Amino acid sequence: MIRFNIPPYVGNELKYMEQAIKNEKICGDGEYTKKCSAWIEEKMGTQKVFLTTSCTHATEMAAMLSEIKEGDEVIMPSYTFVSTADAFVLRGAKAVFVDIRPDTMNIDETLIEDAITEKTKAIVPVHYAGVSCEMDTIMDIAKQHKLMVIEDAAQGMMSTYKGKALGTIGDFGCYSFHETKNYTMGEGGALLVKDDKYNEYAEIIREKGTDRSKFFRGQVDKYTWKDAGSSYLPSDMNAAYLWAQLEVAEQINEKRLSVWNAYYGAFSELRDQEKLELPTIPKGCVHNAHMFYIKLKDLETRTRMIDYLKSEDILSVFHYVPLHSAPAGIKYGRFSGEDKFTTKESERLLRLPMYYNMEESDLEKVIEAVKKFDF
Ligand SMILES: *Cc1c(COP(=O)(O)O)cnc(C)c1O
């Protein structure tokens, strides 16, 4: 059976985890947590990175730092993972869903202004499949209407938009290191902070509402409860796992891109024959091969394809069911404008097996199977 995903493993994970244990500092903010955050700051070019227990938690921190409160509205696509909305809904905000562009499956930047009301506080672009949203337009709209921009870059580490790393363009950026992502620590994430005026409050929120981080740096002689907060620090053992992967981040990225390019090249003929559609990478965007998807004619064809691939021992999966159609989406959100593409495109999309340690022979097997399908 060819699985859809296998978590990346590069070889040094256990060694570093053992070292974390030997350091006798397995809680948060130990050696490996510091190494990982410093690496992300340097590599992505941002002033501050906080490693967190998940991308969901990084987004919750961003919502708190943006002072999102009861009754506020936050603009986002409906075609996304639940966490994008959860982080804001937890603070009492309403999710305002905007339709997507069919070419990238990202929020349609031309529809954002229509969704803005006097209650709007933030825009949350989601970089689907590690392909950037149209960030120049989004940042212009945000500036004009004085809105915060929180990038859900869960899938976007190592991707860029006009040379800038995803997650560093908006006020805050959120990465995921869940086992399904390109780089992992099992469960984990990171919050990227553009303006240093947020650093102190971010530290406090992440450390149960205390100034313990300052205490550990010797800047205060005892730590106190300063504000409402939570516990968003991952264990240093998990960070050690991630560190092994960050050390070879370029190698992981290149391997994934080679799988992605092989799929893309192999299916170009089927695309030309209009049997399926392939992803679009807009000009100015460099992607990280987070996923490879194809789009089929309709829901019925996709279901047939999933069943057919399964009969060939290949696991393929569809993706998000639009949030606005889910019970919580109805309760906590509203769709702005018309759902022209969100539902229709989500029903046609199919993701193929794609992971770091994918064998060449498995890749060939998937390609051959797709080519033989009765479209
Ligand atoms: C994976 C993912 C998340 C959630 O990441 P966690 O680290 O599991 O919290 C959020 N948004 C998107 C778009 C994702 O793909």
**3-state secondary structure (DSSP) of residue 70:** coil
Ligand 1 pocket residue status of 184, Cβ below 6 Å: no
pLDDT value of position 232: 98
The full length of the chain comes to 375
pLDDT digit string, tens, across residues 217-253: 999 999 999 999 999 999 999 999 999 999 999 999 9
* 36-50, 148-162, 204-218: the lowest-pLDDT one: 204-218
At residue 283, the pLDDT reads: 97
Give the Cα separation of 10 and 202 in Å (integer). 32
Q: Say how many Å lie between the CA of residue 292 and the centre of ligand 1.
A: 17
pLDDT in tens, 262-283: 999 999 999 999 999 999 999 9
Rounded (10°) CA dihedral 351, 245, 233, 187 = 30
**pLDDT-based confidence at residue 346 (cuts at 50, 70, 90):** very high
Pocket residue to mutate for ligand 1, from 88, 105, 176, most atoms within 8 A of Cβ:
176
φ, ψ at 54 (rounded to 5°): -170, 170
Average pLDDT over residues 184-202: 98
pLDDT at 366: 98
Ligand 1 binding pocket mutation candidate from 107, 178, 346 (most atoms within 8 A of CB)? 178
Closest CA to 213 of 51, 62, 46, 20: 51
Helix (H, G, I), strand (E, B) or coil at 267: helix
Average pLDDT of span 39-64 = 98
Confidence of residue 255 (pLDDT cuts 50, 70, 90): very high
Domains of the chain: 13-246 (3.40.640.10), 249-372 (3.90.1150.10)
| CA 77 to ligand 1 centroid distance, Å | 14
CA 55 to ligand 1 centroid distance, Å = 5
Decide: 369 and 2 in contact? Cβ < 8 Å.
no
283 CB-near residues (< 8 Å, 6+ apart): none
CA distance 356 to 183: 9
**37 CB under 6 A from ligand 1?**
no
CA of 221 to the centre of ligand 1 (A): 38
What is the residue with the minimal CA distance to atom 14 of ligand 1? 154
Ligand 1 close to Cβ of residue 123 (< 6 A)? no
CA within 13 Å, CB half, 125: 37
What are the tens digits of pLDDT across the range 94-106?
Answer: 999 999 999 999 9
State which H helix or E strand residue 49 sits in. Answer: strand 48-52
The residue type found at 207 is E
Q: Is the CB of 53 under 6 A from ligand 1?
A: no
Average pLDDT over residues 57-80: 98
Q: Whose CA is nearest to atom 6 of ligand 1?
A: 55
What distance in angstroms lies between residue 166's CA and the mean position of ligand 1's atoms? Answer: 15
- Cα(208) to centroid(ligand 1), Å: 23
Provide the pLDDT confidence category of residue 358 given band limits of 50, 70 and 90. Answer: very high
Element (H, E) at 149: strand 148-152
Q: Which ligand 1 atom sits closest to the C-alpha of 58?
A: 9
Rg (CA), the chain: 21
Which ligand 1 atom is nearest residue 127's CA?
A: 13
Q: Which residues pair with 52 in a beta bridge?
A: 189
In single-letter form, the type of residue at position 303 comes to: T
Which residues, at least 6 apart from 289, have a Cβ–Cβ distance to it below 8 Å?
130, 182, 253, 256, 257, 259, 260, 354
The verdict on the CB of residue 55 being under 6 Å from ligand 1 is yes
Residue closest to 192 by CA, chosen among 213, 170, 159: 170
Task: Identify the residue whose C-alpha is closest to ligand 1 atom 2.
Answer: 154
Q: How far is the CA of 337 from the centre of ligand 1 (A)?
A: 26
Mean pLDDT of 308-336: 97
Give the pLDDT score at 299. Answer: 97
pTM: 0.97
Give dist(CA 129, CA 205) in Å, integer. 30
The predicted structure's pLDDT at residue 152: 98
Confidence (pLDDT) at 35: 98
DSSP class per residue in 275-341: S-B-----TTEE-----EEEE-SSHHHHHHHHHHHHHTTB--B--PPPGGGSHHHHHHEEE-S--SS
Residue-wise pLDDT tens digits, 136-164: 999 999 999 999 999 999 999 999 999 99
Burial 349-374 (b: 16+ CB within 10 A, else e): bbbbbbbbebeeebbebbbebbeebe
Task: Give residue 209's pLDDT band: very low, low, confident or very high (50, 70, 90).
Answer: very high
**Average pLDDT, whole number, for the chain?**
97
What's the rounded mean pLDDT across residues 316-345?
97
Interval 314-338 mean pLDDT:
97
Tokens at residue 94, please? 């309403």
* Measured distance CA(180)–CA(171) in Å, rounded: 26
Q: How far is CA 80 from the centre of its chain?
A: 9
DSSP-H helix ranges across 124-225:
135-145, 199-206, 212-216
SS3 at position 349: strand
Percent of the chain clearing pLDDT 70 (strictly above) = 100
